[in-house]
Amino acid sequence: MWVLIVIAIIIIFFLIYNHQSNSKTPELFKYPIRKSDLKLFWNGKDLFNQLFEDIRKAEEFVCISFFIVRDDRFGDEFLTLLKEKADSGVPVYLLLDRIGSRSLKGRKDELRQAGIHLTFSNRINLMKPIASMNKRNHRKLTVIDGEIAYIGGFNVADEYVNESPKFSLWRDYHLRLTGEVVEDAQNLFTLDWEFSSKYPIKLTQKEHPPGTVKCQLVPTAQGSLEENMINLISQAKQSICIGSPYFIPSNKVFNLLLDKANQGVQITILYPHQSDHPLVKEASIPYLKKMQDVGANVQLFTNGFYHAKVIIIDDHIADVGTANFDRRSIFLSDELNVLIHNPVFIRTIYSIYSVDLKDSIPLYDQWMNTPNRLVMFFKKQVAYAFRGLL
């Protein structure tokens, strides 16, 4: 018995102190603030109806990167569309995360034979298996004909279009972008593709007329997200609104939030009532409870599953994208967010956030101690030990 305990302690120690990957990653560009036109989607069916229409209209190329494309009914519909597009002669590039989209490994020959240029990101390094398995490409990026880009939290599987028996509704935020920022999105996809596939692609660069919304593409990797979060939160004078399916911030980010709350900044946190992964709720509870104790408004979304990633600061800057408010996104995953500097569009984002707040209830003791205090205590201890991987 004691031998097993010692082995478990050694494994936990190894995981926690060696979870940050030293794997190489493409050089991160600091893209400029651009003027573009944006549209926000929060329902998967609406998003994919528009995305599929844009793909069908593509004439020059389709570049798609997702963390998850699952081999289920909707995943097959998505892949069938890409095969049809490739068969029409339009180049289709599909970049998938090796772990997140592992269910498609058995179909890779089929997809390549159909004409799709397919590659998987971040190979497993047998010399560093834990580190390399945990370094994932969590970005969701689509670029079509160099004119349209999509960035946000939705992946491709049945649950994202509300067809999963587990969740009645899947809430997420995703952007459709046109204008100047598409140039940067195309550049980032090219870098990710060439890094993962080891062969170059040549995509036509286009001139883009300026749009009406100031925004900035912000890719992060290997810990750079922490500095971005700190810079963003530091600007808050009146309010901070956070939406995330997981709430496991780094110590620096969490301490800054506590400081802001003590300075009188109104903080709202929207978190799902129902979890989609083991231990993430237990790992999040101590942080959520502490925020509530210092005066934050912590709300639990009850109308399905809340998977959106958003930060709104003082109604003058918003952050929407792929990064969760957790240590995995901060330290391990490659992420992609869009900073938005436009009061009118930020009000649009906040209006959807407000609707989701209406479908939520305040953080309460019974939820934090289900099924009972003893079981929850042990689960929280395990979650705390593994919080760097959650």
Active site residues: 138, 140, 145, 307, 309, 314
Locate tokens 């389709």: which residue? Answer: 62
Q: Which residues pair with 142 in a beta bridge?
A: 64, 150
Round to whole Å and give the CA distance between 95 and 213: 28
* Neighbouring residues of 168: CB distance < 8 A, sequence distance ≥ 6: 162, 303, 304
DSSP H stretches of helix in 100-223:
108-113, 129-134, 181-197
Round to whole Å and give the CA distance between 25 and 221: 8
Looking at the chain, the number of H-run helices and the number of E-run strands are: 13, 18
* Neighbouring residues of 61: CB distance < 8 A, sequence distance ≥ 6: 90, 91, 92, 93, 143, 144, 145, 146, 203, 204
Locate tokens 């883009």: which residue? Answer: 208
Long-range CB pairs of 105-113 (<8 Å, 24+ gap) are 106/71, 107/71, 107/79, 111/79, 111/82, 111/83
Strand ranges for the chain from DSSP E:
34-43, 62-66, 92-97, 117-121, 141-144, 148-152, 170-179, 213-220, 239-243, 247-248, 266-272, 297-301, 305-306, 310-313, 317-321, 325-326, 335-341, 360-362
Burial of 263 (0-12, 13-18, 19+ CB in 10 A): exposed
Round to whole Å and give the CA distance between 34 and 209: 10
